[in-house]
Structures are given as C-alpha cells and as structure tokens.
Structure 1
Amino acid sequence: MASSWAMDHQGQFRRAALALGNVPDDEISRFIEHLRLSIRLSGGSRGVPVGQFRGLPRLPVDEGWPSDEFGRLPFIFSVDCALLPRIDGFDLPVDGSLLFFLNHEKDHLATEAGDQQFSRVVHVPAGTETAVAEPSDFQPVGEQYDVSATLCVELPTWIAPDEDKEEEDEEDQSPFQQQLARDLQRELPHLDELCALAHDLWPPDEGFASAYLGGYVDDEVIESLAGRTLVVREMAGEVVIPKGRWYSHLEQEQYRLTSEWMSLVVFSLDDEFYYGSFAIRHDDLAAGRLDKAFSVTTVSEYQ
C-alpha cells in the first residue's frame, strides 16, 4: 500500500509564498528549482515506526547476506518504503523494503580508488518471502531500535551556507562563486524571505537524527564525484582543462552534478567518527537502478 503521506510539497510552498503578497510567481518558481526535502529518521516514540536500525535484517529466503571479499557487510538499517512520506523528485520505490549495508572502514579507504564492493543497497519488493537472517559468529549485532520519519527542508550551500563554516568574504571567493552570488541577487531578490518561509513550513529538528533520506549530496561527496567525472570527461575529450585551471573546472563540475545527483541517504556510524553516504543520479533512482548508488564514507573533523 502506498504511503498516505503523499503531498504536493512544491504546490504547498508556492501557495504559501504567493500569500506573502510581495514575491512574483516567476521568482517563486526559480526558488522552487533549488528547494528539496529530505526524510529525517530518528529513534524514540515520536510517530509510527518506518524502519529499524541495527539488529538483524529481513532478507529474501533465497538470497544470502550481502558480502564483500572479507565476508558479510555490516547491516546498518532498513526502511519500509510504503510508510515513508512521498517527496517531489525523490523517486524511492513505492513499496517493499530498502536495506543498507556498509563496511565503513574499508569503504573509507577504498573511496579514492572508486571501489564500491564494501557497500550495498538492497530493495526487497513487496510480497517477497523473507526471514530474519541468522547472526554471524564473527560480526557483532547492535541493539535494534525503531525509527520514525519527519520532513526537513534542504537548500544548496550557495543559497544557504553551512552554519558550521565561517562565511567567506567576497574577496576570498573564487570568480565562479562571485558570479553565482551575483546571479542569485539578480534572480532571487526575496531570497531571505523565501528561505525563512521554507524553514517555517518544515522546521528543523535539533535532536539526534539516525539518518536522512534524500536532499542534497554532501559537499565532500559531490566533490569526490566531480573529480572522478571530470577526469573521465577530460579523457573522453569532452572538456579541455588548461594547466592551472583544474580547480575552476572542478567547481563548475560540482555545480553541474548537483542537479544531476541527489543524496539517497546519509547516516552516522556507531562510533560517531564515520559518516556513511549513498548518492545516486535522479534518473537511476527513478528507474530503480539502486546498484548505481555511489558510496562515500567520510571521517568527522572532530574526531
């Protein structure tokens, strides 16, 4: 059964923005192009459970536990797709379960080489016969807990800079960043009001979040993707990068990929030093090609 949370969030925002009375419709449309929502998963007793963290996964009876060359991949969490809210532009499967597996220490070391064997996203279609997997003698099982879902608003960093980072002076910005800022000032003169409205409609929750589904790809992840794709495009002759211009082209590639890629999920690991992230292209997600999800494990700078 599809989620009863389905809603036209873009339409909801447009109606609220028009009600302000001073923002033109075409400016609202331009802002909506940047607006994304994510699904915040958190423990506790707030709301209907939509998934489980840790514990043992329910796997199809005719399939084994996803593994890498060293053995089973650690199970992180699963969600029931039919219970998740539906979001504009975030084409998760409408039913069945999504399960996420990650060997974060190995995945972190393999990121530079692009080795993706240490992560897996599994979709178990509705109606599939499943059973709780047997535990392994060599892998500890964390204490299971349920998570519920709430919606959060997300905006790209060039519209809403990361609050944890110091804002750069204009003279410290690259020419590309300066041009982007000028374009925003011209195209979105009511930017502050629209940002405030978005956060009023979908207020942030300051409590601990186990994971976020959807939204924008983290800066570190999109930079990794941009570096890889830029090398491929240069080798294919699609772009010519003059000496000393690599960073400038990397910035432009990151900006281009932001509209092409989205975050499938980002989550913190038990030790809170590592963060797991799966990014995916919009068209791959819409087509159900979850095997195309790209995993990047990062380390907290506060380690």
Structure 2
Amino acid sequence: MDRHEQFRSAALDRGIPQDEADKFADQLRFAIWAGPSAAGDEVAGQLGGLPRLPVGMKWPGGDYPLPFIGSVDCAALPRAEGLGLPTDGSLLFFLNHEEDMEEHPTTEFSRALYVPAGTETEVAPPPPGHDTRTFFHEPIPFLIPESRLTAWVQPVLPDWIEERDVEHKADTVKRLFDELKHIDRLCELVDDLWPDQKRHCALRLGGYCREIGGQDGPWTQMAFDNVRSRQAADPDMSGEERFRLRREEAYRLTKEWVPLAQFPTQGEFYYGCFLISSDDLAAQRFDQMRSFTMFTE
C-alpha cells in the first residue's frame, strides 16, 4: 500500500467521506527532504564540497563557474509517491544566486546535472582562481564546506490548506476548499500518520514551492508570463479577467511543474528553487529545469 492509499484508508476508518478523502489526497504530496547525517544514517548525498563530474567534463558555467550547491545519490534516496526521480545515478545542483536573482527564469546561472549510473567520474578540482574566491556583492566563499546528507520522506500540503486561506486563490481552489468539510481532521490525520521528524532540512526534492518573503512564488510568476502572452492576442482583456486567469493558471501549473530542488543558499537573503515539468522529469530532461532564486526579505 502506497502512502496515498494508506491515507485514504485511514480517513475512511475515521468516518471521513471517501470523496473528501480523495480530493484531499489529490493535494497531498510526498517530498524527499535531506539534512545533515548522524551516526548510523544512510548517506544519500552531500552539501557543498567538490562535485564528482564525468571524467573530462569542465566545471559547469564555462568562463563564469557556478557554485556547487550539492548532490544526491538517487539510488540511496527513499521513494516518494508522485516524484519521478531517476532510480540510480546522481543529481548535482549548481547556482549563482546573485546573478540568477536578476531574471526569472534563467538557465545561464543555474544547472541541474544528471550523471547516469556507470558513468566514470572524478572529483573536480576548484575552477582556476576560485578556491579562495568570494562573491562580488557578499563576503561568502565560492566553495561551500562539505557535509554529508541523509534523506527522509515528508508529507507536504499546499499553502492554502496549511493556512486555511483561499482569498487570493483560483476559483477552482475556492470551490475545492468549500467541499472539504473535514479539512481540520484531514490535516490532523496527516500529522498522525507522518509526525514531523524535527530535523534540519538543507535540501528539498518535490512537494510544493515554499513561499519566501513578500514576492510572488515561481508558479505565480510563470502564470503572469503566460497570461501576458494571452493578453497580447486579446488587448481588450479586462483587468478582472487577467487576475482570474493568472490565479487559474498558477493552480494549473502546480499540477504540471514540480520543485526539483529547493535550498537555502550561502547568501543570507537568497533561496534557490529549481522547477521542472513532470514530463521533463520523467524523460530525464534536466536541461529543461527552470530556476527561480527568491529574495527572502
């Protein structure tokens, strides 16, 4: 029995109607969280340090090398329902948060690199001149101190369920919220089945995008761009219709795009978020990842 079926079965045992349990389960996601490993933990990746790159591959970024955030060993990760990560090989993440923050989405200042199992790799030396280099605007090192990561599965709910607030959400979400008459009991059930492990998380794979600071989240930004394109073809579109479409589009995008990786950066006010479509994830097209560095203030 997978975790969604476990949830539905437990909800029915508590007398919650099946249609509500099903609708709620459709919003429930399972993410892989990774944090510092302790004695006895299985190591599933590393934060910082030097990456293992395919033999002969140059450090990503070319003439402007990208800081290495960390990597995960896909074979050592626990399985999370609905998150179609590779079952083996490794995923490496690179990000220059200062430059990436200037434009959304970018590909020039971020990279998600998949190294298939069996690839001959080697520990990459620091790019020339970068072993002691710091960022231009911040006194933080280019190289992040290395630490080992262990991973676990965490249930994740959208913000509108967590906060019970749909005032600025799509009409589709408002209707769904009204239909969830037992939402408090359903949330309690999630907590009972999968209690918070109270462990520090340094890297999140899957789930929902975190809301950071006062800016729009990645899905909202993508929705804004998509609706602006529609508006160009329909210049008479009213402001009210634009807002409605943006909210509906943002909700639709949450179904199609998944956070590949989310992580705090070494910069005090920057947070990294890599998104990928479910189709590209299934096809292992990691070059199609979109990066949305967020400002926390």
What's the TM-score once normalised by structure 1's chain length?
A: 0.85
Query: 208-217 vs 9-18, which deviates more?
Result: 9-18
In the other structure, the counterpart of 1:164 is none
CA contact (8 A) 1:110 1:116 kept: no
Query: 74-83 vs 11-20, which deviates more?
Result: 11-20
Find the aligned partners of 1:31 and 1:300 in 2 and give their Cα distance. Answer: 30
1:192 paired with 2:184, answer yes
Find the aligned partners of 1:191 and 1:264 in 2 and give their Cα distance. Answer: 28
Deviation at 1:94, TM superposition (A): 0.7
In the other structure, the counterpart of 1:115 is 106
CA contact (8 A) 2:31 2:205 kept: yes
Identity over aligned pairs, percent: 41
Find the aligned partners of 1:59 and 1:216 in 2 and give their Cα distance. Answer: 29
CA contact (8 A) 1:41 1:210 kept: yes
Deviation at 1:115, TM superposition (A): 3.2
Deviation at 1:216, TM superposition (A): 1.2
Kindly tell me the number of residue pairs found equivalent between the two proteins.
280
Runs of 4+ in 1 over 4 A off after TM superposition: 176-179
Find the aligned partners of 1:62 and 1:84 in 2 and give their Cα distance. Answer: 27
In the other structure, the counterpart of 2:130 is 139
Deviation at 1:55, TM superposition (A): 0.5
Deviation at 1:204, TM superposition (A): 2.4
| Structure 2 residue ranges without an equivalent (≥5) | 132-142, 212-216
Find the aligned partners of 2:103 and 2:253 in 1 and give their Cα distance. Answer: 22
1:242 paired with 2:250, answer no
In the other structure, the counterpart of 2:200 is 208
In the other structure, the counterpart of 1:78 is 71
In the other structure, the counterpart of 2:253 is 257
Deviations 1:10-50 (A, max 9, x none): 12212222222x11222211111101011111114062110
CA contact (8 A) 2:45 2:149 kept: yes
CA contact (8 A) 1:217 1:261 kept: no
Find the aligned partners of 2:70 and 2:291 in 1 and give their Cα distance. Answer: 15
What's the TM-score once normalised by structure 2's chain length?
A: 0.86
CA contact (8 A) 2:37 2:43 kept: no
Find the aligned partners of 1:51 and 1:179 in 2 and give their Cα distance. Answer: 39
Find the aligned partners of 1:34 and 1:240 in 2 and give their Cα distance. Answer: 35
Find the aligned partners of 1:117 and 1:109 in 2 and give their Cα distance. Answer: 11
Match of 2:44 among 44, 50, 55: 50
| Structure 1 residue ranges without an equivalent (≥5) | 1-6, 162-166
Q: How does 1:1-303 map to 2 (within 5 A)?
A: 8-20=2-14, 22-45=15-38, 47-67=41-61, 70-111=63-104, 114-140=105-131, 141-161=143-163, 173-174=167-168, 180-186=173-179, 188-219=180-211, 220-235=217-232, 241-301=237-297
